[in-house]
Chain A
C-alpha cells in the first residue's frame, strides 16, 4: 500500500544552488499538489498539477520556483538559486482526478525538509 512518496527527505543546499524535490503520487492518483510549511506556520498552497499540465500555480513565487509533472516519472518542484528564506518543509499531496472516488481528499507525503546554509 504505497502512499505518496517524496525524496529526498532532507536536503541541504548552499545559497545560490538549485534544489530539486520529487514526489510520486499514490497509485491511481493523477493530480499532485505542492505545499510549503515555514517554521511555526501552517501549510501554504503552491501549485496544483496533473500530468503534463499546470492547473493552478497561484501560490508559486514569481521567480526561481517551477514545477512539473511529466507523463512519465515523478512530479518535480525546482528551486533555483536558493536563499535562506527558502528553508522550509515542502509537502506533496495527491488525489484522484475529478469524477473519481475520493477526488475530494488529498493524501500527503512525508515531506522534504530543505535547509539552505
Chain B
C-alpha cells in the first residue's frame, strides 16, 4: 500500500537559515511526487513537482527538492528562508502507472520562520 511519511511535524528555523523538510514514500511502482504549501486558512498551492527527467526540481521562490529513488525520498530544501515561508508543507505522491490518479499525502510539516 502507498504511504507518505513526513517525520518532522514542526520545524522552527531562524530567518535566513537553511531548511530541509523530509519526505519518504513507499511504493512498488513508479511515482509522481509533489510538494504543496498551505498558508493559514487557505487551500493548497503547488510548490513543485517531479514527474520524470532531472531528479532536482525547483520552484520560483527558491525551494528545491531532489528525487532519490534508492532512498525513496523527496526532501524539500531552501538555502535561506524568509518570514513569508511560514506555512504548512505537504508532500504527496501519485501512482499513475497503477491507474491511481489520487494523491497520497503526508501528515504535513509546519515550518515556522523565527525573526
Residues of A that sit less than 8 Å from B by CB: 4, 6, 31, 33, 35, 41-45, 48, 55-56, 59, 91, 93, 95, 104-111
Contact = CB atoms under 8 A, between A and B. Distances in A.
B112 to A, nearest CB: 15
A34 to B, nearest CB: 10
B104 A91 contact: no
Contacts of A110: 42-43
Nearest to A107: B46
Contacts of B43: 4, 6, 91, 108-111
Contact of A43 (B45, B94, B100, B103): B103
Interface of B: 4, 6, 32, 34, 36, 42-46, 49, 51, 90, 92, 94, 96, 100-108
Contacts of B6: 42
Contact of A48 (B42, B45, B51, B101): B101
A76 B32 CA distance: 28
Given A104-B94, A104-B96, A108-B44, A43 B32 contact: no
A59 B102 contact: yes
A106 B103 CA distance: 9
A42 B102 contact: no
Given A104-B32, A104-B94, A105-B46, A45 B107 contact: no
Nearest to A106: B103
B51 A44 contact: no
Contacts of B107: 41-42
Contacts of A6: 43
Closest 10 CB pairs of A and B: A42-B105, A45-B102, A110-B43, A108-B44, A42-B107, A43-B105, A108-B43, A111-B43, A42-B108, A109-B43
